[in-house]
Structure 1
Amino acid sequence: MKRIDLYIMRQLALSLLAVTVGLAALVWLTQSLRFIELVLDRGLSIWVFLELTGLLLPSFFGVILPITTFVVTLFTYVRLASDRELVVMRAAGLSQWQLARPALLVAMGAMGICFILNLWLTPASHQAFREWQFEIRNQMAGLLLQEGVFSSVGEELTVYARDRDSSGTLYGILVHDSRERGAPVTILAESGRIVSTPQGPRVTLFNGQRQQVERVMQPDGSSTLRLTVLTFQENSLDLARANRSEGQRFRNAQERTMGELLNPEEGVSVRDRRRFLAEAHQRLTGPLTAVTFALLALAVALSGQFRRFGGGINLFIGSLLMVGLLALGLSIGNLAARQSALIPLIWLHALLPGFASAWVISGMPGLPDQMRGFAR
């Protein structure tokens, strides 16, 4: 490998590492703010918080890395052009593809990392994150109860507490429990405490009423609603199983392996099968965009004549093209998840800009000289 290739690759690799880690840390910080209250107000361990939010990082890197590859390649080559280093390299006899070779090698490395992330690390980390999240919402439901707020514990249990002191005692409690089909229960209590049991958290209620509406069949075949009111001094309510599903959880497309996406189990709806198929193709094409975006950046930075103060124009054009491609990719992904016939568009979006950029880097062969000069 030539020394000039190592010179450019070193700049690209160091910049790519710094920008990717910095941007991923910024995204992680914004996303982790959703869970910081569990640490400050609900007693969740800081290590559990770090482990929970750290599981989000592989998915961040998988999305960010192709974008940062484009950004680093564009800015590095525009800077080389502004410093006239590209002029000297061309004068030394280097072709367009020889100039582009360091960026393509770095982009291929990024593509390999994205394949590892998309096909293995991201599904595993996302599944672990969803399991943690499910456990917090169900097995650790007591942490989520906030004073003065109607807190949904699962889908069929709502808890309200007027106040909560430093010892964890709740005051002015209202519970609406609809886990028993056709017989919802409303419980009012003066106070209560959340206790941990081997089966999960339970709330012990003191001095309250239990109101239940039941449907009663009459002798003539008709039915009426009957309100049953029970006064109690102490009652216990299970928060561990907030749903009738008793812990069963449907795993979404992001936490499934490629085999599960392409061959889902029986009972999966047609709508989910379409989502799974689109997710599988997006995982396969996502890493390819690292090379495609690098080619796009090279086409913008290396094409055209040298301009002493023209770097800003190339940056603007490249950024505009990149934003358009990202918006188009999001739209195609959403459409393909609804209609499987549009899945080829995912591959077209991932590959066509790269081929077009390679054609531009090659000097646009086959285009008349007049049109080629106008394009430049």
Structure 2
Amino acid sequence: MILARYLWRELGNVALATTIVLLLILVSIMLVRYLHIADSFMIAIKISALRLPYYLGMLMPVGFFFAVLLALGRFFAESEMVILFSSGMSWWHLVRLLLLPMGVVMAIVGLITTFVSPALERVQADIMQQYRQQAASAIVQPGLIRFNHGQNVVYLKNVTAGGQEISEVEAVLRNDDGSESIYVAPRASQYYNAAGDRYIRLFAGQRYDVKDGVVSASIRFKEYTALIQKHGIIGTDRDVGTLSMRKLLVNGSSEALAEFEWRIAIPLAVLVLGLLAIPLSNVGPRQGRYGRLFPAVLVFAVYFNILAIIRNEVESGDLSMGLGLFAAPLIFSVMGLLFIHYRNQGGRWRMKS
């Protein structure tokens, strides 16, 4: 029991430190992204806070994997494991000691991915729906407006109906080839699509294509819609991410089944990666605790990439959910158990008679 508490304390410290560092990095990136596409600082903070549990659930299997690797790696590097093995402890005893922390982390991650995260996704969708409606109905002041770092310029002379009805519009939009398209219309309106992109719809106007300062074409139109700002607000579609586990099964679509499979695969990753980390942690005194870090990163990257590929295949309908759910965890778990058996047999593939 003393050994178990010692091991669990070391695992907890390393797992907590690893998860917090990764979470801070991810939150910083996420906050910068939301601040870039949201006009409101408070909206960006709220959305980032609501996304925290989701990313925590994704990072906890990673943190536990590296915790097992580094904690046991330190024991091997400092020859503590040599003493324990000489005292009669086996690799399977080590596995049994790790089953309790594995189960606790799996339960926490499962709770986050199956209940907490979908509930917060629904709250996020409600907040963004309200923000989207406010942004779409916000009063646009007459005058010159620049979008996309000055690439697109719109001049509005008169604005009515809460910013939705615009009269006497001139818009200059830069094309990918460097040319410009100039739109002139007596009437226009603006709106946001579900992805948060901002559009302006022009009525009964004229379009001029300009290249190197020369008008190359002139076209009259009855109605024309142009994208003026990519991701003007954060997208707000209520997708399968907001559905409960039961509703995902009732939905039955390939997207819903892929989401169901993903929510179960993440908690299972704690067990799978934990089993793989145990034999990977076996390092010599000269290698140090970080001696197997590079192959461990490769194992982690390969496993999660396979999970992502399986999710895409299930989502597209090319793979059944049952096969996608159990194939990768089963194969990698068997690999981990086989390598543990290999270590337990002294590095030789022999079976007990």
Q: TM-score, normalised by structure 2?
A: 0.69
Indicate which of 311, 333, 336 corresponds to 1:354.
Answer: 333
The residue correspondences of 1:78-117 to structure 2 (distance < 5 A) are 78-117=73-112
1:148 equivalent in alignment to 2:146: yes
1:136 to 131, 142, 153: 131
Which one-letter code corresponds to 1:281 in the other structure? Answer: E
Please list the CA deviations of residues 10-66 of structure 1 after superposition, one character each: whole Å capped at 9, or x if unmatched.
011122122212211211110111232578xx4x353x4322210111110121111
Letter in 2 for 1:336: V
- The answer on 1:290 being equivalent to 2:270 is yes
* Residue 240 (structure 2) aligns with: 253
Aligned residues: percent identity? 20
Aligned residue number for residue 57 of structure 1:
52
For residues 316-343 of structure 1, what are the alpha-carbon distances to aligned partners after superposition, in whole Å with 9 as ceiling and x for unaligned?
A: 2222222211221111111111125343
**114, 119, 122: which one pairs with 2:117?**
122
**Counterpart in the other structure of 1:341:** 319
Matches of 1:17 and 1:143, distance apart in 2: 47
Instruction: Mark the runs of 5 or more structure 1 residues left unpaired by the alignment.
Output: 152-157, 164-168, 176-184, 190-209, 214-224, 229-248, 265-271
Report the residue type matching 2:115 in the other structure: W
Cα deviation code 1:110-135 (max 9, x no counterpart)? 10011101111111112222222232
Aligned residues: 287
- In structure 2, how many angstroms separate the alpha carbons of the residues matched to 1:370 and 1:86? 16
Give the counterpart of 1:273 among 253, 265, 277. 253
Separation of aligned partners in 1, 2:221 and 2:262: 54
Equivalent position amino acid for 1:23 in 2: L
Q: 1:227 to 1:18 in 2, by over 3 A?
A: closer
- Are the structure 2 counterparts of residues 87 and 138 from structure 1 closer, same or farther at C-alpha, using a change threshold of 3 Å? same
Task: Check whether the contact 2:125–2:237 (CA below 8 A) recurs between aligned residues.
Answer: no
State the distance in 1 between where 2:298 and 2:50 align.
32
In structure 1, the partner of 2:286 is 309
Q: Could you say what the CA RMSD is over the residues aligned between the two structures, in angstroms? A: 3.8
Residue 10 of structure 1 corresponds to which residue in structure 2?
9
Residue aligned with 1:147, SS: strand
Where in structure 2 are there 5+ consecutive unaligned residues?
158-162, 172-183, 189-201, 206-219, 224-235
Alpha-carbon distance change, 143 to 106 in structure 1, aligned in 2, over 3 angstroms: farther
Residue in structure 2 matched with residue 372 of structure 1 by the alignment: 349
Q: Report the structure number with the largest CA radius of gyration.
A: 1
- Indicate conservation of the 8 Å contact 1:74/1:301, yes or no: yes
| Distance change in 2, residues 1:38/1:334 (3 Å) | closer
Letter in 1 for 2:285: R
Question: 1:61 & 1:19 partners in 2: Cα distance?
Answer: 11
Structure 1 residues 361, 139: CA separation in 2 closer, same or farther (over 3 Å shift)?
same
